[in-house]
Amino acid sequence: YDVWGDAVNLAARLESTGEPERVQLSPEARGALSSFVCEPRGEIDIKGLGPLETWFLLRRDAVAQTHAMPESGIAPHVSELR
């Protein structure tokens, strides 16, 4: 029985198959980080999971930054986003 679960195992596998000084993302992480620019790495073989499409995290998307939540915590009105 594994007390850590699949998320921790996947993170360890992504780190061990990654490149120095780069953050490698799973499809789920890539989907959650839609305000970031990512570089497709392609499919890699993850021990225990098989082939998995991965990406490298590059930077925050400049367009997403202009629509970010202001420090006040009050979301802008939709008309202000145009």
Backbone angles phi, psi at 2, to 5 degrees: -105, 115
Known active-site residue 13: yes
Among 22, 30, 41, 47, the active-site one is 47
22 is catalytic: no
Task: Look at residue 69 and give its three-state secondary structure.
Answer: coil
Q: Do 7 and 46 meet the contact criterion of CB atoms below 8 Å apart? A: no
Which of 13, 30, 41, 59 does the annotation list as catalytic?
Answer: 13
Amino acid occupying residue 32: A
d(CA 15, CA 32): 18
Active site members: 13, 47
